[in-house]
Amino acid sequence: MEPGRLEELYEWLRIPSISTGGGEAKDLLRAAEFAAGIIRRAGGEAELVTVDAGNPLVIGELRAGSEGAPTVIIYGHYDVQDPGPLDAWQSPPFEPTLRDGRIYARGAADDKGNFYPLLLAACELFASGELAVNVRIVIEGEEEAGGESVAAWVKADERGADCAIVFDSAMEDAQTPAITIGLRGCVSTSIIVTAQPRDLHSGLYGGSVQNALHVLQQILTPLLPGADGNLRDELRAGAEPPSAAELESWQRLRPGQALLDEVAAIPLTPDCGEDFRRRNGAEPSFEVNWIEGGAARTVVPAQARAFVTLRLAPGQDAQAMAETLGQLLSSEVPAGVEVEIDSHAAPPSLFAPELPAIQIARAAITRASGMETALIRSGGSIPVVADFAAAGIPVVVTGFGLAADEIHAPNESFALDHLDLGERCARELLTALAALGRG
């Protein structure tokens, strides 16, 4: 990538556009303005759109030279996760640093550095008069926070589109680019248990009163996977088993156990390694992400808090599962104890390999990269993908991340080479998708 372009990405990465709490509205706005500036300098149109006081969306337009070209939405997100403990970073998270062919920064892979080549390819094709499709740019600032702005925008935009390209996913491995045809949904839930107005002396009252941490444990325990590693049936409602053809296609990918070994993880049950792709791509899972309450001294805690997530398999209804989760959490609450539950649901998505957009994209990425492109599922979530699908827009979810990027963790990075790889693939994708015609 040209030094000027790399410096432009670095400038974007220097903006701490954190959406998951602790970030500042002015930085989210600056990151949005920065992206809009890239589009305007290429000669395109861009505006910031705010929905219900959410973080601004960047909405842009680059029109094809020819009449009757299809419209392709390109999507990325400028918001990033909290960098976590700063002393765990080898170089500061918002000072992009090149080491051993990798750019280290929060957002280097998720998603500024992953998306930038797609944006750049569209802008450069437009500026040189070679753009074969109409490109509508949608960049959001709430992806990591489960925000609603982009969903509302997609729902209200009656123009629709012939296809969307999302650069926010990873390759299967360094030799295998991938299109992520399946993503899990996610019900994010915060829980506050209140047992009494204030903490009590555990000697004077313990054994006779409710303890908020005990109640929290009681209501969470029935949601944990059983001895077979599976969730209870109510939480698996609607999950669709993968087809024989898809199961067979996974045999040609690296074995699931290798993916667990890569991160030195301990399998939940002995067969979870072997069964990883099915469990991660086609089963729901439940995680307690965070618990807080009490103190390391002799108190009966009055209040306990938790944050939990239920990942949803393709086929599951996000609203229905949020309700089921709420009911299960409420059913074991002792009389008089208060439990506040606040859920946000993002639906799963799955695209058929036969869709013309997927087939065209697969061939384009294979041509541009010189590597065979796999169709895979991810256990992660990109909420807007289901919103596009609901609007009748097929989505090509891809990107050039690797497991080594360590997204969401300290020392997140992105391979410098993958900026060029991403840009080559993006140019070929935008060119090849003209074959979709106008729907």
What is the chain's length?
439
Q: Is 140 one of the binding residues for Mn ion (CB under 5 A)? A: no
Least distance in angstroms from the C-beta of 437 to ligand BES: 29
Q: Which does 380 bind (CB under 5 to 8 A by kind): Mn ion, ligand BES, none?
A: ligand BES
Q: Which two tokens stand for residue 301?
A: 């805690």
Q: Which does 381 bind (CB under 5 to 8 A by kind): Mn ion, ligand BES, none?
A: ligand BES
CA distances from 18 to 78, 113, 405 (A): 9, 15, 18
Residue 265, C-beta contacts closer than 8 angstroms, at least 6 positions apart: none
For residues 225-258, one letter each, b for 16 or more C-beta atoms within 10 angstroms of the residue's C-beta and e for the rest, the string is beeebbbeeebbeebeebeeebeebbeebeebee
Least distance in angstroms from the C-beta of 50 to Mn ion: 21
Closest CA to 325 of 238, 222, 185, 212: 222
* Residues between 324 and 383 that touch Mn ion (CB under 5 A): none
Quick check: 238 and 251 in contact, CB under 8 A?
Answer: no
The CA distance from 439 to 429, in Å, is 18
Binding site for ligand BES (CB under 6 A): 110-111, 143-144, 146, 168-170, 180, 186, 188, 346, 378, 380-383
- Please choose, out of 66-74, 168-176, 230-238, 337-345, the segment that lies near Mn ion by the rule CB under 5 A: 168-176
Q: Which does 308 bind (CB under 5 to 8 A by kind): ligand BES, Mn ion, none?
A: none
The smaller minimum CB distance to ligand BES, of residues 133 and 184, is found at 184
Q: Is 111 one of the binding residues for Mn ion (CB under 5 A)? A: yes
Q: Is 79 one of the binding residues for Mn ion (CB under 5 A)? A: no
Return the residue of 79, 168, 412, 423 that touches Mn ion, per CB under 5 A. 168
Least distance in angstroms from the C-beta of 370 to ligand BES: 22
Cis peptide before 111 (omega within 30 of 0): yes
> Around Cβ 271, how many Cβ atoms within 10 Å?
14
Q: Which does 169 bind (CB under 5 to 8 A by kind): ligand BES, Mn ion, none?
A: ligand BES
The CA distance from 80 to 204, in Å, is 47
The smaller minimum CB distance to Mn ion, of residues 111 and 173, is found at 111
Q: Is 412 one of the binding residues for Mn ion (CB under 5 A)? A: no
Chain residues binding Mn ion by CB under 5 A are: 110-111, 168
